[in-house]
Amino acid sequence: MVNGCLSAAPHITQRFTAETSGLSLSTVARTHARLNARQFLDKNGITILGKAALEPYKVDNAIILAAGLGTRLVPFTYHSPKGLLPVKGTSMIERQIEQLRECGIEEILIVVGYLKKKFDYLIDKYNVRLLYNPEYATKNNLTSLYYARQYLKNSYVLVSDNWIEHNIFNSHEYDSWICGVYYQGKTNEWATTTGARDRILSLKIGGEDVWGLIGPAYFSRAYSVEFCTLLERYYQRPETDDFYFEHIISDNLKTLPISLNRQSADNVYEFENLEELRAFDVDYGKDTNNEVMQQIAQIFGVEQSAIEIIGPLREGMTNNSFLFVVDGVSYVFRVPGQGTDRLIDRRREKRAYELVAPLGLTDEIIFFDDMTGVKVSRYYKGARVVDPEDDAQVAEAMQLLRQIHTTESATAPKATPLRFDVKHEIAFYEKLASELNAIHYSDYAEIRAKANELLDLREHLAIPEVLCHIDYVYTNILYLPERMCVIDWEYSGFADPIIDVAMFAIYAYYNRQQADRALVLYLGREPTRLEQTRLYMYMALCGLLWSLWTEYKQGLGDEFGDYSLVQYRYMNDFYQVIKDEGYLAEARAYLTSRDKAPENCG
């Protein structure tokens, strides 16, 4: 500690060194005496011998982890990574970069992921280097550090969304440490117990009246070698996808000994939500310059300070939604996802809501902008979604679907231009994905030819169309205290009603037996062979449809894991069922016999 103070400013007094290091004046005096005796210090400060002795402790670089989604600070993080949010006029990551620069640390590496291009300006402004974590959306920060592992030496490890009031970095560090502050009461942070010289003895998530981890860490070169060996092992284990890098330390404190760097809660901050930001930076209690906050204020006729942001409601595949409160009432704000301006006609969605409104089966809409897709609706506390593995709940969902399909407005397609044409939609998503070179299946031409066979069959079947939800995924079907409710009508349109049953099945990753059961529950009887053909045909076609949709979205930078592959398999597998078990041949025979039948002149 004394060496660190001296290396930063060799002519400072012993009293200042004591105050800065937190050591007693007598300890500093004794240390000075020993350093002088070893000729590491003289009247001019640190000697050549002293500088050589310090060299192994010189900090090589800093690695800043900045790949995360920052979901707890929506809506501010919809268009900005959390670390780039301003606090008292400076972004959190820039303040840390500047503090590192003050200590002479030149090599700064930033691991990015979410909205990665937003960080590009830092390259020119601070001469930093960006590293990309392609798994940022599905794994935690252990993975981010994995992608920077080759740079771990004498290294600071930081997260981008901390605010450090007074600089805690040094040009030299003696041993490995990790920051912590004292939490009075319960905390969900990493809780520590410590021994002599603040060596951490135990580390676990959650505690009460404890010193908890928050802020940067420092790894010595020897520590980094041992840590990287373990990091590579942990990365290969699927159960560690949600791990933080602190999990490795927690599990291996004997081989990864580390000390607690105690900091004041007034010096190191992590902002979990808007209210904590407001408490620290008064600007967040006024006009935040955030478009979503401004829009909410305008819709409800209130000041932004009256808006309480609770946080993300759920991660949708098409949109993002978050929960907020105004005057004690909870609402959901829907923000259209990336690329949805090309995917969805919001006027159609609004019209669908109007058509089904008489049924009382949708969420209560407070505001709907059919140009942007922004929607505000009531939030229903205690609502739960349908369980696709519960036969009774699936039966209720299928009965509700049949009710929607048979209502008067749903059976009058000529009254509205709404139509969901799966052939058109497949071609449209195919075009969007192709523009981004995002279709990655080597057998796509073969699969597309199979799809064309089914599309031709569907066209000639000429099934009467009704208003369908299309996005009839179980998470869009809610149990409210007094009724069931279907939300998110953005893909809706007139189509063959069995398409909704097929959609429910493939969204729930149903096998054939489960899909057959859903159709029986929908019809209220055993299906005919032709009805089964239609179910399997739509499971195949819609599998291809959503696979292309996912390829396009991933081409824009979104991540959906294996979703595209699962949906693509539905296309191939259920085409084979239709063909190999005679459904395709029977349907063609049915069409031939129907076309040859004499006209009904009566």
Q: Which of the four pLDDT bands, split at 50, 70 and 90, describes residue 289? A: confident
Classify domain 388-596 at the CATH topology level: Aminoglycoside 3'-phosphotransferase; Chain: A, domain 2 (3.90.1200)
Strand partners, 186: 208
Least confident of 18-22, 59-63, 185-189, 590-594: 18-22
pLDDT surpasses 80 at 5: no
Strand partners, 178: 217, 260
pLDDT surpasses 60 at 488: yes
Which region holds residue 209: left if phi is over 0, alpha if psi is between -120 and 50, else beta? left
pLDDT surpasses 60 at 497: yes
Convert 121-180 into a string of H (helix), E (strand) and C (coil).
HHHHHHCCEEEECCCCCCCCHHHHHHCCHHHCCCEEEEECCEEECCCCCCCECCCCEEEE
pLDDT surpasses 70 at 16: no
Q: Find tokens 């899909």 and name the residue.
A: 515
More confident residue, 348 or 179: 179
Helix segments in 38-120, DSSP class H: 48-54, 92-102
Contact between 63 and 157 under an 8 Å Cβ cutoff? The reply is: yes
The count of other CB atoms within 10 Å of the CB of residue 563 is 17
Any idea what the Cα angle at residue 18 is, between residues 17 and 24, rounded to 5°?
155
Task: List CB contacts of 248: < 8 A, sequence separation 6 or more.
Answer: 142, 227, 230, 231, 234, 256
Tens-digit pLDDT profile for residues 24-54: 777 777 777 777 777 667 777 777 776 777 7
More confident residue, 183 or 601: 183
Tens-digit pLDDT profile for residues 181-222: 999 999 999 999 999 999 999 999 999 999 999 999 999 999
Contact between 146 and 232 under an 8 Å Cβ cutoff? The reply is: yes
What does the pLDDT average to over 316-339? 82
What is the distance between the alpha carbons of residues 450 and 428, in angstroms, rounded to a whole number?
18
Contact between 135 and 111 under an 8 Å Cβ cutoff? The reply is: no
Contact between 522 and 402 under an 8 Å Cβ cutoff? The reply is: yes
Least confident of 9-13, 234-238, 304-308, 392-396: 9-13
At 540 the pLDDT is 97
The count of other CB atoms within 10 Å of the CB of residue 103 is 18
At 601 the pLDDT is 35
Tens-digit pLDDT profile for residues 144-164: 999 999 999 999 999 999 999
Domain boundaries, the chain: 2-56, 58-270, 388-596
Which residue, 392, 357, 299, 314, is CA-closest to 485? 357
Any idea what the Cα angle at residue 163 is, between residues 162 and 167, rounded to 5°?
115
Tens-digit pLDDT profile for residues 519-529: 999 999 999 99
What is the distance between the alpha carbons of residues 51 and 90, in angstroms, rounded to a whole number?
35
Q: Which amino acid is at 172?
A: H
At 427 the pLDDT is 96
What does the pLDDT average to over 472-498? 91
The count of other CB atoms within 10 Å of the CB of residue 393 is 18
Q: Which of the four pLDDT bands, split at 50, 70 and 90, describes residue 597? A: low
Contact between 190 and 203 under an 8 Å Cβ cutoff? The reply is: yes
Q: Rounded to 10 degrees, what is the CA torsion of 455, 459, 463, 465?
A: 80
pLDDT surpasses 70 at 338: no
pLDDT surpasses 90 at 567: yes
Q: How far is CA 490 from CA 203, 345, 417, 468, in A?
A: 47, 8, 14, 11
Contact between 138 and 561 under an 8 Å Cβ cutoff? The reply is: yes
At 31 the pLDDT is 72
At 157 the pLDDT is 98
What is the distance between the alpha carbons of residues 305 and 297, in angstroms, rounded to a whole number?
9
Helix axis angle, 422-435 to 529-555, nearest 10°: 20
Least confident of 246-250, 360-364, 420-424, 536-540: 360-364
Classify domain 58-270 at the CATH topology level: Spore Coat Polysaccharide Biosynthesis Protein SpsA; Chain A (3.90.550)
pLDDT surpasses 60 at 599: no
Helix axis angle, 583-596 to 529-555, nearest 10°: 120
- What is the chain's mean pLDDT, rounded? 89
Q: Find tokens 């259209």 and name the residue.
A: 336
At 3 the pLDDT is 44
Q: How far is CA 451 from CA 458, 565, 586, in A?
A: 10, 16, 18
At 470 the pLDDT is 94
pLDDT surpasses 70 at 600: no
Tens-digit pLDDT profile for residues 397-425: 999 999 999 887 666 655 556 889 999 99
Strand partners, 377: 332, 365
